[in-house]
Amino acid sequence: MKGSQAKKRATSTRVWVWVWVSASVIVVAAVVAAVVALGGWGFDAAKPGRIDPDDATLVALGRQVYDGQCASCHGAKLEGQPDWRSRRPNGRMPAPPHDASGHTWHHPGDVLFGIVKEGVQKYAPPGYQSDMPAYAGVLGDREIFAVLSYIKSTWPAEVRRRHDELERLAGSR
């Protein structure tokens, strides 16, 4: 009798282990499928895009974000602040324009992305002070790419072409 009970118990244990392992595999597969279907874990660690002035959805999002986060300093029409090339009495520079009259298009996309996300100080000479905040805790990577896409979408074809060439040479595209 003891031998048959031990066999039943061993068989029962094997069945439960098999059920537990099978259920675990199904749960893991479901989680992996959900992550793949949703496009990842949702972290912004990797840049989930690029500057694309031809993506109407991205440009529309960029316009909304620009209006809410950037226009108060850089102007509703991307015109920047008056006399933007001259230091203020406090030593800081006014916000530059982002239209074709400014120098935004003189910088590769990786630098523009970094300035918005991490702040100007990382890209400026030592001691440079700016009123421009870092937006890492405010905007996600997609929103930053959207703003830059919106800005680039407003540039004339020749300026966009020159920026594309700069990006190609910089390896950021």
Q: How far is CA 47 from the centre of its chain?
A: 5
Residue 41 has pLDDT above 60, yes or no: no
Residue 18 has pLDDT above 90, yes or no: no
Residue 44 has pLDDT above 90, yes or no: no
The residue-averaged pLDDT of 19-33 equals: 59
Return d(Cα 169, Cα 121) in angstroms, integer: 24
Judge residue 147's burial from the number of C-beta atoms within 10 Å of its C-beta, 0-12 exposed, 13-18 middle, 19 or more buried.
Answer: buried
Query: How much is the mean pLDDT over the chain?
Result: 83
Q: How far is CA 7 from the centre of its chain?
A: 59
Contacts of 86 (CB under 8 A, 6+ apart): 93, 94
pLDDT (tens digit, 9 = 90+) per residue, 57-102?
999 999 999 999 999 999 999 999 999 999 999 989 999 999 999 9
